Amino acid sequence: MAVTKASSWLAAQIAQAGISHVFFLEAILRDTLNELRRLGVRTILPHTEKAAAYMADGYARASGRPGLCWAQSVGAANLAAGLQDAWLGRSPVMAITGRKPQHESDRNAYQEIDHAQAFSAVTRASHYVSRPQDLPRMIANAWRACLAGAPRPVHLDVAGLMGEHLEAGTFDDRLIPADLLQRIGRTALAPSAQQLDAAAQAIRRAGKVAVLVGTDAVASGAAGALTALAEQLGAPVATTVGARSALPTRHPLAIGTAGSYGMPVTNRLLHEADLVLAVGAQMSDQNTHAWRIPAAHQQLVQLDADPCEPARNYPHALPVAGDLRLALQGMTERLAGHAAAEPAYAQAAARAMQAWRDDVAAARGSDDRPVKVERLCAEVSAALPDDAILVADTGYSAIWTCTHVEMSAGQTYLRAAGSLGWSFPAALGAKCAAPDRPVVCFNGDGAFYYHLSEIETALRYDLPVTVVVNNNSGFGQDACNMVARGMPLPQVRELAAFRSTDFAAIARSFGANGIRVTDPAELAAALRQALRADKLTVIDVVTDFLSRSPDPWAPAG
């Protein structure tokens, strides 16, 4: 019998699957971690379970491979909380936690809670692995579920508070492929010819056609096929926030970001279309500005890898379910030789986008103090290297970057799906996945406070990320919304303001680089210095507490 220790088998499978980093909180699967290090896989120990989940998420989004995060039993609930963003962002993350053996359950055992309930809301699957001989089957099924269709997080609970009961066991591996996990990749199921035919026919009949592209189109590698179809049709292309880098933002057909966090010009242009082709875009309240863009009267063709998504919120939508790249290629073939019935729509859209840029040009070039966030975004746009990864937090960080930071071909935009504080740990995970690419994290002071301790993690593991802090000493989005509703400023400050903090000084106290910017003329040099640095650099930019980002547009009524 070929006897294999569970820890050795698991480590070998992870390494052979091309996973370069694992993110964990002590104490969990120690034998497996030591074996991983022997095999060349880096094991990253942050300071909180939530940060471990965010790092795994950033790693997964940047690499396209599953991100692995592990924690012992007492940290399981914290790890589950960190998976919310991966779930909302359709990210392939695998969480492993320790759990008391089955015979000790329901006996008030130390650290015992029901992990399955904690993970049920944020995973596609959550299973208990109690026997070593079940590990190959269970981890392969979890790996497969993680990557299936539109990816989602999964969770495995393993025997022992630290997983020690499982990893110490042995099993006969003669019938298990040595490259089991390596064989499992993201599925690419072709959409039905009938759905493609119906969608193509609707596009041929339509006058003004616009495209709305979502995050999953980028994650699935469909951006090239999307651009080819849009150029063939001559159709303007809007993106959701997370798909900001789906095509260069200066492309003649690019019309910016749509939805509640989008540009007013983009929402207007989408509202003018006769037909909207949605590609990998969940038609959520945020992406559609409360289901008003597109409106109910507009035709909608919806492509999605998840067959449950098309027509979920727009019952009249024509569904195309399947791999997005294959779907787009199928549409391109069926629409060969067909161009937009109303080419003036795309020309008018290009003029409208230029007019919007002209309107914000003064703010983007402003020398005002405190620094205008429009100027900060313009300087970030100019400084980003051609192969940069920009990781933005949620709230105003997402709005400012997806409306004012220009992205070019070769650059990647990753955005928090809603979890404040996600961006800094996620940026470290992205740097692990892409060590040769510059990684820039854009967040506010409210978000950066969440995970300041990970400055030490970045230094310990030599992760030279550039962190840009839009430091307005408070929750700016909340403050602006309160002011807009007529709340007196003293009350606004009571609810949403912080004391002034110098994050550059804090970074230097850790041993990282720190640059504080109060004069916009200093921004370009600060960004150049940070991007050339060989260790983490925090650029603390002092902005106005009440800097208001662009308001979205919605049709009357």
Are the C-beta atoms of 25 and 67 separated by less than 8 Å?
A: no
- 301 and 405, same domain (yes or no): no
- Tally of CA atoms within 13 A in the half-sphere of 75 that contains its CB: 25
Note whether 40 and 91 are same-domain residues.
Answer: yes
Whether 330 and 374 map to the same domain: the answer is no
Contacts of 417 (CB under 8 A, 6+ apart): 85, 88, 89, 242, 394
Domain match, 329 and 389 both: no
Query: Which tens digits make up the pLDDT trace of 199-248?
Result: 999 999 999 999 999 999 999 899 999 999 999 999 999 999 999 999 99
> Same domain for 139 and 49?
yes
| pLDDT of 341 | 74
Q: 395: domain CATH number?
A: 3.40.50.970
Q: Write down the pLDDT at residue 100.
A: 83
Strand ranges (E), 183-285: 209-213, 237-239, 254-257, 275-279
Task: Verify that 199 and 165 share a domain, yes or no.
Answer: no
- For 427, residues 6+ apart whose C-beta sits below 8 A from its C-beta are 58, 389, 391, 439, 440, 441, 465, 467
In a domain, 554, yes or no: no
Q: What pLDDT is stored for residue 1 in this prediction?
A: 58
Residues 297 and 438 reside in one and the same domain: no
- Report the number of distinct structural domains present in the chain: 3
- Do 444 and 383 lie in one domain? The reply is yes
| 552 domain residue, yes or no | no
Q: Are residues 429 and 497 in the same domain?
A: yes
Residue 550 falls inside a structural domain: no
Taking phi over 0 as left and psi of -120 to 50 as alpha, with beta for the rest, 50 belongs to alpha
- Residues 553, 267: contact at Cβ < 8 Å? yes
Helices then strands (H, E): number in the chain?
23, 20
Do 241 and 124 have their domain in common? no
DSSP, res 288: T
Residue-number span of the structural domain to which 107 is assigned? 3-183
Task: Find the helix packing angle between 324-334 and 193-205, rounded to 10°.
Answer: 50
Contacts of 404 (CB under 8 A, 6+ apart): 360, 364, 373, 374, 377, 378, 381
Task: Let me know whether 197 and 339 are in one domain.
Answer: yes
| Predicted local distance difference test score (pLDDT) of residue 94 | 98
Listed as ranges, residues in the chain with pLDDT below 70 are: 1
Measure the CA dihedral 97/102/107/111, to 10°.
-10
